Every structure is written in C-alpha cells, then in structure tokens.
Amino acid sequence: MPESVVTVNLEADYPTVEEARQLLKAELEKCRNRKVTAVKIIHGYGSSGVGGALRQGIRKSLINRRKEGSVKGVVFGEKWSIFDSVARSMLEQCPELGKDKDLCNSNPGISIVPSCMLPIALSCVPARPSMAAAGAEPSSGQSPIAETPELPAEACPA
C-alpha cells in the first residue's frame, strides 16, 4: 500500500540552495511515482532570524513549480492550520496530515505539498495561469478549492 505522507528533510547536511532544489525535484518525482498523497518539506527557517536562503529558495521553487503545474499547491508552515482554507482542503484529501505535529503550530521552517489531489489555490500565487496567456475564456469564476466543512478548534493539537 502506498504511503500517505512523506517527510523530506532538505536542511540535513547543510546543502546549498541549488543542491536542495535538485533534491526537492527528485524527491517530489519519487513521491509522485509512489502515489504519495502529500509531502512535508523541512527547509528550516534560517539561523539569521529573518528567514534563511534555503527557506526562501525552496519557497520560490515551490511557487515556480505551482505556476508550471508540476505542484498542485502548497501551504507554508505559518499557514498550516485548520483555519486556512487551503490547508483544510488538503486535510480533507489526506486525513493523515491531521496527525502532523506542526499542524496549527505556525512553523515557518516547513511547507506542505499535495501530490495527488485536485488543484487547489496557493495563497501567494494565482490559482490558475493567466487566462489571457492560455488563450482561454474565463470560467464561471468558481474557486478551485473544494468546499470543506468547518473544523472544530479542538482539532488543533494543544
């Protein structure tokens, strides 16, 4: 049976940003091939106290992968909460993510990426490529985020 959630630690062995990007690309491909539902990426926050190069580089890569369509969405750690609509959509698609110790802990050193689920919006990137660039007519304006029921506050680990 395929794994539901895989954790990829990109900060181990202190790679350069480019090395971490290559590792991320390879690991995401492995997870896609193994039909993993979601990937938790540990990129760290950075020792400077203002967000390190690895964190910024990996986030930029995830945003670019999202724009290209090779990643369907991402929730950065500080938004990884039941109160975030994108996170709730991920939790609905992959209930195993509800056991994640960083859920509701506002950890900026992680990012969560779904592997096999419907397209979802990314809070800092448009949900779809520009319609004009794609040569398509705008749709009915419906959000790609599935409607999810409100989760009780008790769902957040203390």
Predicted pLDDT at 155: 43
Residue 69: pLDDT band (50, 70, 90) is: confident
Does the pTM exceed 0.85? no
Query: Who has greater pLDDT, 120 or 52?
Result: 52
**Confidence (pLDDT) at 153:** 41
Q: Where are the alpha helices (DSSP H) in 69-129?
A: 85-93
Rounded Cα distance, 83 and 127, in Å: 19
pLDDT tens-place string over residues 81-96: 999 998 999 899 888 9
Please report the pLDDT score of residue 138 as a whole number. Answer: 36
| In the chain, domain spans | 5-132+141-155
Strand partners, 39: 6, 113
- Tell me the per-residue pLDDT of 139-155, one tens digit each, with 9 for 90 and over: 334 333 333 333 344 44
Report whether pLDDT(128) > 60. Answer: no
Report, at the CATH architecture level, how domain 5-132+141-155 is classified.
2-Layer Sandwich (3.30)
What is the pLDDT, as a whole number, of residue 19?
A: 95
Mean pLDDT of the chain: 75
Residue 114 burial (C-beta neighbours within 10 Å; 0-12, 13-18, 19+): buried
